[in-house]
Structure 1
């Protein structure tokens, strides 16, 4: 029996797959991510493959797909549109642009179960999906703020690096960070609360591009030599380890003395290596493999009409200089 967890981007290939799957009698569980260029999402793919290896006789197959580039919001919406129009048993979406994706789902009104994974819709659109599987992103921001406060008890100047302007998961992390640092709710910007101030020109938005993320870091370090903290709300810059090494080389003396601190999201192998090399002071990691591994089972439960909790959180791993934990050996 053939087992597959496939990654495709082209619409014609999706059409061919739909026909092939029908011929084989397999029902498709689709996982659509923001972009295949992001190594974070490859962990979701690996989780899907693991599920397949453990369920060889399942009547379902897992289709892992997304646009080639994480910056292609329209492409992701088109892929979802195409999958739903051609027939899938269920679909799990990590929306790059949460409002745009939700608007399209509302227009299509699919009859198959829709869930979100890794990134959720905005709260006002939660009725469009059955559940969310992934990180408690607000809590992730809280944890990042707690690490920053340990390192800089008196606060300081800070720059937040975000992803896509409309990415609900990233914005939730930023909110958790700001609220925790400020000791108040719904803080739009840090303007001196508990000694913390966001510098002019920040936050910066990477559009999920590693090269842009590293260029932004370099520019900020050059323009603000007295910066106290740089917070990578997502791990984009560290996904390009050679470029990240070159950027942090500019400020290694400050990093060693903790005059400048870096707190970053995610704990993929290049990132834990950066942590061990002293190029960050704390990492707060998600569990994308677990997301990909659990998503097929959740979709099957939804197909069967079983009650599923909402949300389904996959937990966090925190590494810091006092307790390297997960980052020590990974």
Structure 2
């Protein structure tokens, strides 16, 4: 009797395992698994799985170990597109051009979309839609906060991530446009009173510690610097204590708008840092929502349903005064 029961349990387990193995995958490939921002996307993906246990599809989250591994992400995309289980794929391109070339080479037969970061405009036909932040608007809002604090302009340094990441480049463009009232300036040379100092923008490959060190070096070389525009929250959520140590001595200047810091994202310690008055303003994204919505968008694409392009997920804006209520619930 006991043996029969054990055999029955084993058979059920094997059946369940087979069922799980046969599930089709709605793949999300992010820039790197070492970034808390992307972990929030994963949490949204897993919530979708929990809410849809009987679906023939599962949300499958993956990416290279490090956000600096652009080639690794491209290889994962290629591998996922070669798997029979892959039913659709959502990609956050670390290097937009490299991912575009990977898609051209792979010639995917399943729906492709982008999430969080998009392909360059000239490659947009390679994907069905983009789901995520309006990155130009995000950068523009950061620029508006900086300009409001210092309307006469000053010296600024832009902190960016990967030089090939389309989302970061769009944010930087939005910030420059807001500061100057002009369009498509690649560098600020006095327009609107703003000048980007030598050595900027700084590309940090989404590394928080590298970002704080870069800002330390820029401040040492430019004691008359007026502002930082940080296009991703890496220095704040990736290295919160070094960031605090760097800017606590100028907290009074930040409070008086004598020194201005506009930064992206509202995750990890960032809102606490805003509450402490160590950043002028944060303009944040909604990564959990991206991960939660991506599977349904992929299912709509699989079914041939019309899907808007782009699908924006909104922004959260935080200052010291609004830190307790600034995040959408």
CA distance in 2, matches of 1:227, 1:109: 48
| Cα distance, 1:325–1:21 mapped onto 2, change above 3 Å | farther
Match of 2:57 in 1: 60
CA distance in 2, matches of 1:318, 1:220: 26
- Report the TM-score, using the length of structure 2 for normalisation: 0.91
CA distance in 2, matches of 1:321, 1:278: 6
- The answer to whether the Cα contact below 8 Å between 1:137 and 1:172 also exists between their aligned partners in 2 is yes
- Report the TM-score, using the length of structure 1 for normalisation: 0.90
- The answer to whether the Cα contact below 8 Å between 1:97 and 1:166 also exists between their aligned partners in 2 is yes
Say if 2:319 is the partner of 1:320. yes
Match of 2:201 in 1: 203
1:275 is paired with a residue of what secondary structure? Answer: helix
CA distance in 1, matches of 2:201, 2:123: 26
- Which 5+ residue runs of structure 1 have no aligned equivalent? 1-19
- The answer to whether the Cα contact below 8 Å between 1:318 and 1:326 also exists between their aligned partners in 2 is no
- The answer to whether the Cα contact below 8 Å between 2:317 and 2:327 also exists between their aligned partners in 1 is no
Aligned residue among 49, 62, 68 for 2:46: 49
Aligned residue among 107, 113, 116 for 1:109: 107
Alignment of 1:119-158 (within 5 A): 119-158=117-156
Match of 1:71 in 2: 68
CA distance in 1, matches of 2:252, 2:41: 36
Say if 2:60 is the partner of 1:34. no
CA distance in 2, matches of 1:308, 1:173: 24
CA distance in 1, matches of 2:261, 2:186: 21
1:96 is paired with a residue of what secondary structure? Answer: coil
Q: Deviations over 1:228-257 (max 9, x none)?
A: 111111101002211211222343343233
| Cα distance, 1:123–1:101 mapped onto 2, change above 3 Å | same
CA distance in 2, matches of 1:298, 1:292: 10
- The answer to whether the Cα contact below 8 Å between 1:282 and 1:320 also exists between their aligned partners in 2 is yes
- The answer to whether the Cα contact below 8 Å between 2:111 and 2:128 also exists between their aligned partners in 1 is yes
| Cα distance, 1:137–1:329 mapped onto 2, change above 3 Å | closer
Q: Deviations over 1:48-102 (max 9, x none)?
A: 1111121121111111111110000000001111111123000000000000010
